[in-house]
Amino acid sequence: MKHTISVLLQNKPGVLSRVTGLFSGRGFNIESLCVAETLDPGVSSLTVVSRGDNSVVEQITKQLHKLIDVIKVTDITDKEYVEREMVLIRMKAEAHTRAEVLRVVDIFRGKVVDVSAKSYAVELTGSASKIQAVIDILRPIGIKEIVRTGIIAMSRANKTK
């Protein structure tokens, strides 16, 4: 099963390598990984998406927590959370497909960020499933290149109060 794990860690040289080294050394898989500074420049937040049964994911979270530079590990999969991914797609945009590309991009609330005689580069954000849906629809029209950020995620605020 797919798990989204949110990690807070010290923003120090080599920390990312400790995390990725742990995954490769122990045979855990990484579907996507995103890391950047938080409000506190001394702390980074990392979102990693991995796959495995419960005991594997339990080991992943425990092993991550064991790293000295890791402050907090949360498996947010079973919690309420918002996930977003951004993708940049360069589309073939010949005369007969240009309008179709724009229509699809519009439906998915994307925007065109680069234009040439034969291509559009479009930017889209959304959940991983939305991004996948866009890609599935655009693929038959002609995708030339694709770059995805990987997922970032945040738990939803407690709504009871």
Partner 1 sequence: MGKVTGSQAVVRCLQEEGVKIIFGYPGGAVIDLYDALMDADIENVLVRHEQGAVHAADGLARVTGQVGVALLTSGPGATNGVTGIATAYMDSIPLVVLTGQVPRALIGNDAFQEVDIVGITRPCTKHNYLVSKIEDLVPTIREAFHIARTGRPGPVLVDLPKDLLASQLTYPEKKDVNMLSYQPTYKPHPIQIEKACKKIIKATKPVLYVGGGVILSDASRELTELAIKLNIPVTMTLMGLGAFPGTHELSMGMLGMHGTYTANMAVAECDLLIAVGARFDDRVTGKLAEFASQAEIIHIDIDPTSISKNVKVHIPIVADCKNALTAINDWFATKANINLEEEAARHRPWFDLIRQWTIDHPLCYKENNDIIKPQYVIEMLHKCTGGQAIITTEVGQNQMWAAQFYKFDHPRHFVTSGGLGTMGFGLPAAIGAQMAYPDKTVIDIAGDGSIQMNIQELATARQYKCPVKVAILNNSYLGMVRQWQELFYAKRYASTTMDVTPDFVDLARAYGAVGLRATTKSEVEPVIKEALATNNTVIMDFKIEKEEGVYPMVPAGKSNTEMLLV
The helix/strand/coil state of 65 is: helix
DSSP, res 108: T
Smallest gap from residue 17 Cβ to partner 1 (A): 7
The helix/strand/coil state of 91 is: strand
Binding mask 55-84 for partner 1 (x = CB under 8 A): x--xx--xx-xx-xxxx-------------
46: number of Cβ within 10 Å: 20
Smallest gap from residue 10 Cβ to partner 1 (A): 6
Smallest gap from residue 53 Cβ to partner 1 (A): 12
The helix/strand/coil state of 74 is: strand
CA 120 distance to own-chain centroid: 23
Q: Is 128 in the site for partner 1 (CB under 8 A)?
A: no
Applying CB under 8 A, the residues found at the interface with partner 1 are 9-10, 13-14, 17-18, 21, 25, 55, 58-59, 62-63, 65-66, 68-71
